[in-house]
A = this chain, B = another copy of it.
């Protein structure tokens, strides 16, 4: 009951993965439980936010870049500490409740894979727990 999904990411962006998570759920006959969406990368993360107006995630990317910029004091040689920081701010996973076989998301909620250091080949895991 662990599902792995691959994706190609842009330079920076929020990719709506709600339908992928639903696909994983449809492969199960579980009515009640929880679902963990997990990002195994350290410069990307998972969040839940609005899926109606794509301008919301545009604004989020802009604001994150503005508030958590690259800093001259950063010492990490790879030069992507700002992306590592954003990953810890957004978080590496999201937990969603499963009810009557469906994700119990709010009306405007979508699940996003957040890329902060792309473009890259990435993956995420969906784990379903019955209960």
Contacts and interface: CB of A to CB of B under 8 A. Distances in A.
Contact of A75 (B1, B55, B92, B104): B55
A19 to B, nearest CB: 18
Contact of A59 (B48, B56, B84, B96): B84
A69 B47 CA distance: 20
- Oligomer: number of copies: 3
Contacts of A29: none
Contact of A40 (B39, B53, B106): B106
Q: Main SS of the interface on chain A?
A: mixed
Interface of A: 1-2, 32-34, 36, 38-42, 47-50, 53, 55-56, 58-60, 62-64, 66-68, 71, 73-78, 81-82, 84-85, 87-97, 99, 104-109, 125, 127, 129-131
